[in-house]
Amino acid sequence: MKKSLLYPRVTATRRVVSLDGFWRFKFDPSSEGLEKGWAAGLPEALSVPVPSSFADLFTDKESREYCGDFWYETDFFVPGEWAGREILIRFGSATHRARVFVNGTEVTSHVGGFLPFNAVVTDVVKMNTTNRLSLLMNNELSQTMIPCGATATLGDGRKMAQPYFDFFNYSGIQRPVKLMALPKESITDYTTVYRLGEDGKAFVDYTVSTNGEHDVCISLIDADGKTVAQACGKEGTLTVEKPVLWEVRNAYLYTIVIRIMDGEAVFDEYCDRIGIRTFEIVDGSFHLNGHPVYLKGFGRHEDADIRGRGLDLPTLKRDFELMKWIGANSFRTSHYPYAEEVYYMADEEGFLIIDEVPAVGMFESLMNAVDAAGGSQDKPKWFEKETTPELLVHHKECVREMISRDKNHPSVIAWSLLNEPETTYDAATRYFEQVFDYARELDPQKRPRTFAIIGNSTPDICKCQQLCDFISLNRYFGWYFLNGFMLPTAEMAFRREMEGWDKVRNGRPVIFTEFGADTSAQLHKLPSVMWSQEYQDEYLEMNFRVFDSFDFVKGEQVWNFADFQTGEGIIRMNGNKKGIFSRDRQPKDAAYVFRKRWTELPVDYKG
């Protein structure tokens, strides 16, 4: 049961209670809490909201920058009518490490801050009374887990996170926590694969996993509540006579109902919403349901004022309304899998997602935009370190968890398996091959795989691009390189590199997963200077000219949707300002540039 990542649903056989709210909280800089018995009760605790990041809740810098152990605690009630069921607690995420205790007994642990896990607590909870839930967590960064970084100990003994990535190391219980009661024999997973027949029918090939031996029956129900297909067996095919397909920005969802049956008795029931669609690469283009699609959209972050990376549904709704307003149809979950609610909203709104595992910071550098591609000359190359085997184990586990969680979403069209790693030597290729092969093995739909290629990794030196089903480029000609008055020179250099990619792409499409320029929402200047809104517009127009000049460019996802928080530094003024929208979700001038372009580009542009 521990590894079932099905989204919590209330059905005829399942019960779900939210544990979100104010929890007790305490920093543990000396890592003394476990020895002192804090798992059974936190002394002198603070009160913090769950879900949220803890960093921006306080007014002191020590709390915002805190690195090390910390504790969460709450009480929960298990009703007596749940007796005889399997009792679980499900965490949407816990960043980055967590040990979970119920009534003082450790029940599970998890490493990785962006994917869910659950704890079976049936044998440790008390019925019809209050139970205590405690988490010992840690947000230190290392080279053996993703996202990568280091943890320094300062002269006064304080720990300090040193991320090898350019976003703030938000931490805490940042996604919902659910108390669940399931039947002893239950559904643990399901998968779907779609085929479109020449006669207009659609076929849904499914597989269901359970923890028992009883039979399984499946029903598919349309938006009007009508059952359109049925089948029995843990593997089989649902035939839909007149399917309504899930299309980009025109979503149609069916409800799939899975039941474990014993004659007429229902042992367990699970429901989810799915969209019938196919996605593949054909003749160098992305094809959704057999027709070409040009990707228009963003790299994004789960990031907002005060709540940090904590799930916030009003902000989520606003973000999708802004993406619809601007004419976008896609985004990349840079640089980690997002909360599940994001994917369900994308399913409903018809957005396409490139789903990215948290493999960012795979180089020993705090300036990835400048010096990451080959690694520092006086340090071992990233994929040749003693820590590499342990890192690979964790990387693959995160890939497994991501695909297991997200594989049935119609919005998810591709997997991004690394962001801006070192790629210029043979050890990187050997590492990449294992991750790419593992992702292909896990995904029943065999979605295309890619990784975001850093600017210094050019077509003549990149040793890993050949593993990609499509090429994803992060490029900043005109910002980090050849900027300001040199913008025309940047365009010429950009075009030369694109000609190089055309020689090695072997018919594969190319998309831009990052391009952008930092911009102050308050700065206007004529003639333009860097950081002004005028310069951002000129920079974008130059990029558009290059994109439009090459037919093999099949998508553009600007960096970034909105300004976001980073660590302190001389190239960051209270965060990264490349947003097309400000951090409070108001448009910069560039938003209107994109709105004009994207609302006029047809969905099958360059198809």
Give catalytic residues, as residue numbers.
Answer: 420, 514
Rounded Cα distance between 96 and 131, Å, is: 25
According to DSSP, residue 576 is labeled B
Helix or strand or coil: residue 425? Answer: coil
Query: Of 226, 288, 221, 305, which is closest to residue 257 (Cα–Cα)?
Result: 221
Closest by CA position to 578, among listed 294, 165, 171, 298? 298
Contact (CB, 8 A) for 268 and 260: yes
The CA-CA-CA angle for residues 454, 491, 603, to 5°, reads 75
Element spanning 63, H or E: helix 61-64
Write the DSSP string, 514-533.
E----B-TT---SS--TBSH
Cα–Cα distance measured from residue 37 to residue 32, given in angstroms and rounded to the nearest whole number: 9
Please list, in sequence order, all residues whose beta carbon lies within 8 angstroms of the beta carbon of residue 480, skipping any fewer than 6 positions away. Answer: 369, 370, 455
Task: Spell 22-37 as b/e; 16+ CB within 10 A means b.
Answer: ebbbbebeeeebeeee
Largest CA distance in the chain: 77
Which one-letter amino acid corresponds to residue 584?
Answer: D
Contact between 478 and 490 (Cβ < 8 Å): yes
Residue 453, exposed/middle/buried by CB under 10 A (0-12, 13-18, 19+)? buried
Q: The tokens of 15 are what?
A: 């019960």
